[in-house]
A and B are shown apart, each in its own frame.
Chain A
Amino acid sequence: AQTVTQSQPEMSVQEAETVTLSCTYDTSESDYYLFWYKQPPSRQMILVIRQEAYKQQNATENRFSVNFQKAAKSFSLKISDSQLGDAAMYFCAYSLLSGNTPLVFGKGTRLSVIA
């Protein structure tokens, strides 16, 4: 079975600084998807970024980028120029490549942004 591990329950970052959230996963599949979701306080969970395992290039979305190390089964999220609005719970998730499959989540990392 696939598992996702987020080893940092809580992290904090100064406004405008950079922070990296860690995620490792375990799977016997060679192709799959990885995701980072963000859940701000009392708000809906939204997709931040996704990575297809068959793509070697790391995904980026504005200030958010990932460091995908397939051999190490590592998928970290880097947030550059942190803003107060980045404060949220961040969940790393995995899904199979075949369509319409459920997500497997980690426990989440709570990120605080200090002004």
Chain B
Amino acid sequence: EAGVTQFPSHSVIEKGQTVTLRCDPISGHDNLYWYRRVMGKEIKFLLHFVKESKQDESGMPNNRFLAERTGGTYSTLKVQPAELEDSGVYFCASSSLRQGLGTDTQYFGPGTRLTVL
């Protein structure tokens, strides 16, 4: 079974440019999460999709970030325009949808390392 995949693995862009990151979750996983790790800091939650709906986007830094999950399959995270502080590693994770209490393991992708110059 294929794991969570992310594309690209690395991206180097100039300040003010646009970048789109893609995440393909494990097939059948309705939950999809985006996280970000800035160097030396904690991995921080950005947002959570359940199927195609945004369940929680409380971690999104500002309106320069736009996430979509059309059809409830893969997701994209667009940064427009990129700023220096957006540099970091962007992780995607997916898990099965659990009804009620309990939580299923989140499976992580390898991350996209974004560098904004």
Contact of A44 among B44, B95, B110 (CB under 8 A): B110
Q: Is A84 an interface residue (CB 8 A)?
A: no
Of A18-26, A45-53, A68-76, the one with at least 4 CB within 8 A of chain B: A45-53
Task: Looking at the assembled complex, report how far the CB atom of A28 sits from the nearest CB atom of chain B, in whole angstroms.
Answer: 18
Q: Is B28 an interface residue (CB 8 A)?
A: no
B43 A33 Cβ-Cβ under 8 A:
no
Chain A contact-residue range equals 20 to 34
Residues of B within 8 A of A65 (CB): none
Contact of B42 among A96, A102, A107 (CB under 8 A): A107
Q: Is B81 an interface residue (CB 8 A)?
A: no
The residue on A at minimum CB distance from B41 is A107
Known: A99-B100, A103-B45. 20 other contacts (CB 8 A): A42-B110, A43-B110, A44-B4, A44-B111, A45-B91, A45-B111, A46-B108, A91-B43, A95-B103, A99-B102, A100-B31, A100-B50, A100-B95, A100-B103, A101-B48, A101-B103, A103-B43, A105-B43, A107-B42, A108-B42
List residues of B whose CB falls within 8 A of some A CB.
3-4, 31, 33, 35, 40-45, 48, 50, 55-56, 59, 91, 93, 95, 97-111
Listed A/B pairs (24) with beta-carbon separation below 8 Å: A42-B110, A43-B110, A44-B108, A44-B109, A44-B110, A45-B108, A45-B111, A96-B103, A97-B103, A99-B101, A99-B102, A99-B103, A99-B104, A100-B48, A100-B55, A100-B95, A100-B97, A100-B103, A101-B48, A102-B45, A102-B48, A103-B35, A103-B106, A106-B42
